Amino acid sequence: MAQEKTSGLQLPGVDDRPLWDVVFAIYGYPALLLAHRLKIFSTLAEKARTLPEICETLNLKQRPAEAILTTATSLGFLSLNKERYSLTPVTETYLLEESPNYFGFFWDMMIDNYQVSTIAGLEKAVLADAPQAYGGGDIFKTHEEQAALLRRFTAGMHSISITSALVWPTLLDFSGHRVMLDIGGGSGAHSIGAVLKLPNLKQALLLDFSPVCEVAEEYIVRFGVQDRVKTHAANIWQDHWPAADLHFFSNMYHDWMPDKCHFLTAKSFTSLEPGGRIVIHEMLYDDDKTGPFTAAAFSMVMMGWTEGKQYSGGELTTMLDEIGFQDIQIHKAFGYHSIVTGVRP
């Protein structure tokens, strides 16, 4: 029987690199999280160092240190010149805590909740069709009850938002808008970006639960925009929304399934006056759902954390159109993000 199975053995027309890529991703990318956690990047911010110097400074053995450093170098986070490792621009920009563009708090959140991204954690999320973060259940309810988790989550969301917050306001002419409502605005990163980039915007209102607003106040003061960014504590589902002529949602729709996204879209439409605009800021699937990998992977993140998923530009366009929005447009924003926007007639 074994001979019959192998008798047709021949070299396939495709090689096995994609299969290895899956294996290497499991081991390779976590090396960057370890480099971050072990403070390799902050150590190299002081000065370029050799492998032995790094080992001595961080009390690491050479074999694991070399594996991590080589991985980080191969992925563009470090450079190696004359046997000395140093930071690359992307690492200096996003992985040093003193940088205003610091991304590291999101990596911290991934490390703290590593069980969610394990094979076992994702399998449980898939089979149960339910998030597994914090042991399962509604993460937003957990945040209302546990201030420390809320603070770490808000820091993580801020670190992935503050840079893109400087880009989307430049993609359209927003000069006619005066008040922005940042629905589910978290730290206020996008409100901060909006007032920094839009001089005609008189005010940005951050709409979120009261505990979130308390944390957001700290970020607003830190960036010195408390005269133009205010918080408004409310339940976005149940409470009335304050008046505004620009509604902004960032990484909000992907927290929910279409029925709840329709609800938010309809509530936006009825709350806006004619000429008011909605902006949805997300990583979008291709319309045919063949990719891109980034959006597909983000949907897997959502499997572990929320009840939602990523959407295509076509799906969000249809949603806005069905509710009644017009002049619907899609624009590429910063990095992997895009905006989908429409106007209430």
What is the sign of the dihedral through the CA atoms of 154, 159, 164 and 165? positive
- What is the distance between the alpha carbons of residues 248 and 269, in angstroms, rounded to a whole number? 12
Q: Which residues of 296-326 are buried (b: 16+ CB within 10 A; e: fewer)?
A: bebbebbbbbbebbbbbbbbbbebbeebebe
Domains assigned to the chain: 17-94 (1.10.10.10), 142-343 (3.40.50.150)
Residue 172 gets which letter from DSSP?
S
How do beta strands 179-183 and 84-87 pair?
Answer: unpaired
How do beta strands 338-343 and 326-332 pair?
Answer: antiparallel
Structure tokens at 142: 């957990």
What is the sign of the dihedral through the CA atoms of 299, 24, 71 and 69? positive
At 127-181, the pLDDT tens digits run: 999 999 998 878 888 888 889 999 999 999 999 999 999 999 999 999 999 999 9
Q: How many CA atoms lie within 13 A of 312 on its CB side?
A: 11
Residue 131: per-residue pLDDT: 93
H helix runs in 170-244, sequence order: 189-197, 210-222
At 200-234, the pLDDT tens digits run: 999 999 999 999 999 999 999 999 999 999 999 99
- What is the distance between the alpha carbons of residues 342 and 339, in angstroms, rounded to a whole number? 10
- What is the distance between the alpha carbons of residues 207 and 242, in angstroms, rounded to a whole number? 9
Continuous segment of H or E residues that includes residue 18 = helix 17-37
Structure tokens at 318: 């249809």
Helix axes 293-305, 119-128, angle to 10 degrees: 80
Token pair 């190299």 in the structure block, residue: 44
Residue 164: per-residue pLDDT: 98
Q: In this structure, which long-range contacts are made by residues 294-298, counting pairs with CB atoms below 8 Å and at least 24 apart in sequence?
A: 294/336, 295/336, 298/254
- What is the distance between the alpha carbons of residues 100 and 189, in angstroms, rounded to a whole number? 11
pTM of the predicted protein model: 0.94
How do beta strands 179-183 and 229-233 pair?
Answer: unpaired
Residue 75 gets which letter from DSSP?
T
Question: 63 to each of 51, 60, 345, how far by Cα in Å?
Answer: 10, 9, 64
Residue 144: per-residue pLDDT: 82
Residues of the chain with pLDDT under 50: 1
Q: How many CA atoms lie within 13 A of 89 on its CB side?
A: 0
* Number of residues assigned to the chain: 345
